[in-house]
Amino acid sequence: MTALVLGATGFVGREVVRQLCVRGAAPVAHVRPDSSKLEEWKQTFGEQGAIVDATPWDAGALAQTFKTLFSRGAGQLFICIGTTRSKAKTDHVEGNIYEKVDYGLTKLAVDAAVGSETRPRLVYLSSVGANPKASSKYLAWRGKAEEVVMQSGLPWVIARPSIITGERDESRVGESAAAVIGDGLLAVAGVLGGKKLRDKWRSTTPDVLAAALIRIAEAPESDKIYDGAELR
């Protein structure tokens, strides 16, 4: 089964690629053709056993790529797309970055998948608290992206992890501190009977989350949202 990872150079996406390679899956890792580190990623992913695809973020071009990759049967399309304010600044993304990247690129990818006339299984990495009506812009646009996935007519699964911790390319001290404090409070809540609350909001790591994404991608159930203990 062909697995294509969009957002392959991201914090979680690169771990999904690595773990798929370890399993002997030979995944396709998508890297932006204008990435300043394209050659580096080609070497890194190539050494792991992955194939690098640099199709532009264009619906027609992506649809053709998907048609080529998934034409021989069911495949898995991992959508691990997201951005941060610092990364968006580096990439010269202006305006509402969550609308343009988290939502906009997800919609473009889903539209391309539908337009390819193939039926890959969409594996969408979202966030706990995602809701189109959320007061947080990030969570609101994540919620809207979820709607695009769920209304695609393709088989889908959605993962809603809490804070993802670990060594990143960029410093996110506030997020790491929030995870430490939050996990401490959740541990107390678990002792006091709030196990479901603890499991839902406890932080995770890229390796644990990547393994969970691969697991739900291969599970027989579709059209399902996973969070908490289901992602560990």
Q: Which DSSP letter does residue 141 get?
A: H
Q: pTM of this prediction?
A: 0.87
Residue 62 to residues 31, 55, 104, 156, 223: CA-CA distances in angstroms? 12, 6, 14, 18, 23
Contacts of 210 (CB under 8 A, 6+ apart): 12, 15, 16, 18, 19
**The predicted structure's pLDDT at residue 24:** 93
Question: Largest alpha-carbon pair distance within the chain?
Answer: 53
Domain ranges for the chain, please list them.
3-161+204-231, 173-203
Q: What would the pLDDT profile of 89-101 be if each residue is shown by its tens digit?
A: 777 788 899 999 9
Domain 3-161+204-231 has CATH 3.40.50.720: yes
Q: What percent of the chain has pLDDT over 90?
A: 72
Whole-number Å distance between alpha carbons of 132 and 135: 9
Q: What would the pLDDT profile of 46-89 be if each residue is shown by its tens digit?
A: 999 999 999 999 999 999 999 999 988 779 999 999 987 777 77
Whole-number Å distance between alpha carbons of 84 and 82: 7
